[in-house]
Amino acid sequence: MNRWTHIEKAVKERIIILDGAMGTMLQKQNLQEDDFRGERFADWPTSLKGNNDLLVLTKPDAVEAVHNSFLGIGADLIETNSFNATSISQADYDMSDLAPEIARASALVARKCADEWTLRTPEKPRCVLGSIGPMNKTLSLSPKVEDPGFRDVTFDEVKGSYIGQIEAFIDLVDALLIETVFDTLNCKAAIAAVNAVFDKVGYKKPLLISGTITDASGRTLSGQTPEAFWTSIAHAEPFAVGLNCALGAGAMRPHVMSLSKAAATYILAFPNAGLPNAFGEYDESPDDMAAQIKPWAEDKLVNILGGCCGSTPEHIAAIAAAVDGVPVRSIPHIAPTLRLSGLEPFLIPA
């Protein structure tokens, strides 16, 4: 049984556990400019502190420590440290040309950690998700208030940037995760890139997609409700669809419920550990976070659970313990319906 086949079997029997935050866990290591530069980039002309993806080249042991901390508490899935490993996002550091190298190195680091833990616990293979972030450019919104039709990038440019990332790690990861989607058009470009790479390499791997509800409006930044978001990306036939980031578990629940009712696929969710305080830190305790999430499993809303910003191994361990043994959500039968998507879904029953 290969690694992902194990996940496909296990998800029918129990909640699958995803890892927690990479960025805030790296922040806890108090890394400085020299850590990000390493020897290779000691003379780089721009500041590199904060380019967390670069650490897979300059300080991989820092990234390994985060992966191992989540694998050590039993996470089934870990994400590559490649959230911004695209040529467009790396342009902020004048490192566009290095994006594919960073993406591949992120997968090599995650693969090493996952494989080592699989050897220790062969009855529980650990899988790697290739993290595909939202980019720092948006296709749906203009960055210029005075010119609503202006865009910094084109669809083809975004798609091409994603192709470079995905090609770099497709052979190393077990599945792909398009995550923290705030702009559905960016997500569509990522989906198009995924399909282009599948065509090029001659095989497919499972795809998971996770959007983000940005505030109390209950919508993505580009204006869609969770149901409309699902309708927009359902053609990709993802293994799982869900939500992450922006909100704590309490505020995320109704939106997860909406997706769970609408989507004929598995549901994943990885909320923040509450909302950031005045210092940008996350105060929600592991027990509090787990107590809010346990009813999601009991109400059969989710299949895959983890954490986003502020979530530590202790948070993920508490969530895993809270949902252990809870009966799983089955994929619902969705009646045939013409589904059109705008900011809200428009349904015409058959």
Sequence ranges of the binding site for Zn(2+): 245, 308-309
Question: Residue 1: what pLDDT?
Answer: 55
* Selection from 287, 318, 319 nearest residue 302 by Cα: 319
Q: Which CATH number does 3-349 carry?
A: 3.20.20.330
> Tens place of pLDDT for every residue, the chain, 350 residues?
589 999 999 999 999 999 999 999 999 999 999 999 999 999 999 999 999 999 999 999 999 999 999 999 999 999 999 999 999 999 999 999 999 999 999 999 999 999 999 999 999 999 999 999 999 999 998 888 888 889 999 999 999 999 999 999 999 999 999 999 999 999 999 999 999 999 999 999 999 999 999 877 889 988 899 999 999 999 999 999 999 998 889 999 999 999 999 999 999 999 999 888 877 889 899 999 999 999 999 999 999 999 999 999 999 999 999 999 999 999 999 888 888 888 888 878 76
Question: Residue 129: what pLDDT?
Answer: 98
Q: Give buried/exposed letters for 139-166 (b at 16+ CB in 10 A, else e).
A: bbbeeeeeeeeebebeeebbbbbbbbbb
**DSSP for 34-55, written as a single string:** HHHHTTTTTT-SS--TT-GGGH
CA–CA separation, 161 vs 231, rounded Å?
Answer: 25
pLDDT digits (tens, 9 = 90+) for 113-133: 999 999 999 999 999 999 999
